[in-house]
Chains A and B, each alone.
Chain A
């Protein structure tokens, strides 16, 4: 099993540009989560999906952020337009419904200059 795969690993972009982060969950996992990690705020849950349906997006900071899960094997987190305060490491995680524990991807380090 390749685990949760995120791309790109690093992204540097200019303020105002659109950024798209990608995630491939573990096959068979029903849940997918997007987290953001910063020194100031720690790990924040942005949004999560169950069977490709968004369940809770209350953590999405602004309308500039959007997430989609068009099928069970792919999700995107988009920031448009990006701002320097969006700089963080964005983690994707997936989980089965049965007890097991989340599996995290390696994260995308986003730097907005």
Chain B
């Protein structure tokens, strides 16, 4: 069965620091990959997604992620974080054969706290 692993449970950074959140998945076939963000008390919002093509994906709010197939990884990055990036970040995967319409498996989430 598919699984998604996020390496860090809680990350604390100062403003302007660079961010990298790790995500690894277990499925060996074609996958679609996503990062979602959940601000305190709110619902999940899509940050970015990867289906095929350029493995470096750019999302909203200056976030990007790189798909490395050989490492089964899809790490999220941002060069300079802001206090407003404080949130929980979820990596998610679904099998490509479902053409994205199938079920999405989430990692446990990484809580990011940015100190002003």
A interface residues (Cβ-Cβ under 8 A, vs B): 30-31, 33, 35, 42-43, 45, 48, 50, 55-56, 91, 93, 95-107
Q: Is the interface of A mostly helix, strand, loop or mixed?
A: strand
Complex: A100 Cα to B51 Cα, angstroms: 9
Main DSSP-derived SS at the B contact region? loop
Asked whether B70 is an interface residue with its Cβ less than 8 Å from the other chain, the reply is no
Contact B43 A104 (CB under 8 A): yes
B residues near A100, Cβ cutoff 8 Å: 100
A100 to B32, CA, bound (A): 10
Number of B interface residues at 8 Å Cβ cutoff, please give it.
22
- Are B32 and A43 in contact, CB atoms less than 8 angstroms apart? no
B49 located at the interface, meaning its Cβ lies under 8 Å from any Cβ of chain A in the complex: yes
Q: Of A43, A96, A101, which contacts B49 at CB under 8 A?
A: A101
Q: Is the CB of A102 within 8 A of B104?
A: yes
Q: Which of B12-20, B22-30, B73-81, B105-113 contacts the other chain?
A: B105-113
> Is B105 within 8 A of A50, CB to CB?
no
B75-116 CB contact bits vs A (8 Å, 1 = yes)? 000000000000000100000000111111111110000000
Residue of B nearest to A109 (CB): B41
Task: List, in ascending order, chain B residues with CB within 8 A of A33's CB.
Answer: 103-104
Q: Evaluate contact between B103 and A91: CB separation under 8 angstroms.
A: no
- B68 interface residue (CB < 8 Å to A): no
Residues of chain A within 8 A of B103, CB atoms compared: 33, 45, 48, 55-56
Additional A-B contacts beyond A97-B100, A99-B100, A106-B42 (7; CB < 8 A): A31-B101, A50-B101, A55-B103, A56-B103, A93-B104, A106-B43, A107-B43
